[in-house]
């Protein structure tokens, strides 16, 4: 099984976070669950289930949290729960997060630059571990096996997953909206006692996406430009493409474009350049990881653009010949989070000039 990791991100299988908030007041009450499976109340107890239906109940908001990587850490910072995070794996690089979030992220204790070793995670003192991807022993590079659920329980650590990433590869249908991301935000708000902020973040995302849909949503499918997310950092010998179970597919679709690899069932897949050439996209996004500064980022974008223009296999592509490149970072496109909505708007503004404000 192939996993995909970026500075804290991997999309593999096994689990997801779908919270069911319960009524408060110290009495047994019915679960209050939204249609998307997310919690609709921040009261406790709150129950979350993984993809197999196993339940984890929180009698109170978690106070000592370890995150597996940068994406779950960013969500907690945006929720205002950063003071509850006592450590992370796969930390975000300096400058990878916008504004004040970057400074907050740099203060979080780094338990590992990659997968957190089993012993360190179990001995961290955490009461909650948020897994953006399924922990697999083979991912640790010899750092030991991932803890079993029994070992998590013995250490007093509740273990949950993010729905929008952990379950992406095995989803039953293409991802064409951000409902799974919104459900994760709502659910994390429930288990951390930040439901009000979660509601605010989700509302902000919906407002941006709805505005784009109002402007370009009526465009006929056949009239929508074709779009290729070029993961330059994944290597150029054999491109890694974003398939229809990846959140990027939703971002691209909501922006009024057609992901040229939307016919690929899964999250990511390696293909030959011949397949990209056959698709001959109208636009190419130069998906690059943040280099830590504007100048470094622009240099990386320029390098990726130059490669496409000089490579024999790609220089004849329509998008390359017409200079139809988008300099939009990888993280905000392929990693589930609040910035997905911003990217929808940014792509739409480029593809539909004058229609999206």
**Tens of pLDDT, residues 80-91:** 999 999 999 999
Instruction: Check residues 166 and 113 and name the one with the higher pLDDT.
Output: 113
Pick the last residue of a domain from 148, 178, 203. Answer: 203
CA distance 317 to 170: 32
pLDDT at 176 over 80: yes
Instruction: Check residues 151 and 2 and name the one with the higher pLDDT.
Output: 151
Residue 3: band (very low, low, confident or very high) from pLDDT cuts 50, 70, 90: very low
Supply the pLDDT for residue 51: 66
Tell the burial category of 32 from Cβ atoms under 10 Å away from its Cβ (0-12, 13-18, 19+).
Answer: middle
State how beta strands 18-22 and 85-88 pair: unpaired
Does 208 reside within a domain?
A: no
| 144 and 238, same domain (yes or no) | no
| 150 and 24, same domain (yes or no) | yes
| 137 and 251, same domain (yes or no) | no
What is the CATH classification number for the domain harbouring 306?
Answer: 3.40.50.1980
Residue 101: count other Cβ atoms within 10 Å of its Cβ: 17
Residue 2: band (very low, low, confident or very high) from pLDDT cuts 50, 70, 90: very low
| 184 and 236, same domain (yes or no) | no
Tokens of 27: 């009495």
Highest-pLDDT range among 9-13, 156-160, 164-168: 156-160
Does 357 reside within a domain?
A: no
**Tens of pLDDT, residues 255-309:** 999 999 999 999 999 999 999 999 999 999 999 998 988 999 999 999 999 999 9
Does 75 reside within a domain?
A: yes
pLDDT at 127 over 60: yes
CA distance 58 to 35: 21
Per the structure, the count of domains in the chain is: 2
What integer is the mean pLDDT of 131-143? 50
DSSP 8-state secondary structure symbol assigned to residue 93: P
**Tens of pLDDT, residues 216-231:** 999 999 999 999 999 9
| 46 and 181, same domain (yes or no) | yes
* Contact predicate 301/286, CB 8 Å: yes
pLDDT at 6 over 70: no
What integer is the mean pLDDT of 163-191? 90
Residue 31: band (very low, low, confident or very high) from pLDDT cuts 50, 70, 90: very low
Pick the last residue of a domain from 203, 226, 246. Answer: 203
CA distance 204 to 207: 5
CA distance 201 to 315: 41
Instruction: Check residues 2 and 213 and name the one with the higher pLDDT.
Output: 213
Pick the last residue of a domain from 177, 203, 229. Answer: 203
CA distance 45 to 58: 5
Structural domain containing residue 135? 5-203
| 30 and 178, same domain (yes or no) | yes
- Percent of the chain at pLDDT > 90 equals 73
Residues 276, 281, 285, 287: what is their CA dihedral angle, to the nearest 10 degrees? Answer: -10
The Cα-based distances of 272 to 71, 278, 281 in angstroms read 29, 10, 15
pLDDT at 240 over 70: yes
Does 31 reside within a domain?
A: yes
What integer is the mean pLDDT of 337-356? 97
């Amino acid at each position: 099984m192939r996993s995909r990791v970026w500075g804290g991100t991997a999309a593999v299988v096994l689990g997801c976070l779908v919270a069911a908030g319960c009524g408060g007041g110290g009495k047994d009450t019915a679960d209050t669950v939204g249609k998307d499976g997310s919690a609709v109340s921040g009261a406790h107890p709150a129950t979350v289930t993984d993809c197999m239906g196993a339940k984890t109940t929180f009698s109170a908001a978690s106070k000592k949290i370890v995150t597996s990587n940068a994406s779950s850490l960013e969500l907690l910072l945006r929720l205002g729960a950063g003071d509850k995070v006592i450590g992370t794996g796969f930390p975000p690089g300096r400058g990878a997060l916008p504004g004040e979030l970057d400074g907050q992220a740099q203060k979080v204790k780094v338990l590992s630059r990659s997968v957190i070793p089993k012993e360190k995670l179990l001995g961290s003192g955490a009461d909650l571990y948020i897994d953006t991807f399924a922990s697999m022993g083979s991912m640790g590079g010899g750092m030991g096996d991932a803890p079993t659920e029994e070992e998590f329980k013995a250490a007093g650590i509740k273990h949950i997953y993010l729905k929008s990433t952990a379950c992406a590869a095995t989803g039953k249908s293409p991802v064409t909206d951000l409902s799974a991301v919104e459900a994760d935000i709502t659910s994390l708000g429930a288990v951390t006692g930040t439901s009000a902020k979660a509601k605010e973040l989700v509302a902000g995302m919906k407002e941006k996406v709805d505005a784009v849909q109002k402007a370009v949503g009526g465009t006929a499918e056949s009239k929508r430009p074709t779009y290729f997310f070029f993961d330059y950092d994944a290597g150029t010998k054999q491109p890694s493409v974003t398939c229809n179970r990846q959140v990027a597919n939703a971002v691209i679709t909501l922006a009024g474009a057609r992901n040229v690899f939307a016919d690929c069932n899964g999250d990511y897949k390696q293909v030959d350049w011949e397949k990209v050439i056959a698709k001959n996209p109208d636009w190419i996004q130069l998906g690059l990881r943040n280099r830590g500064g504007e100048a470094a980022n622009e240099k990386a974008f320029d390098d990726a653009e130059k490669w496409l223009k000089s490579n024999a296999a790609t220089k004849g592509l329509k998008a390359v010949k017409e200079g139809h490149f988008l300099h939009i970072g990888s993280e905000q496109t392929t990693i589930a989070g609040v910035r997905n909505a911003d990217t929808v708007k940014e792509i739409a503004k480029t593809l539909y000039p004058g229609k999206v404000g």
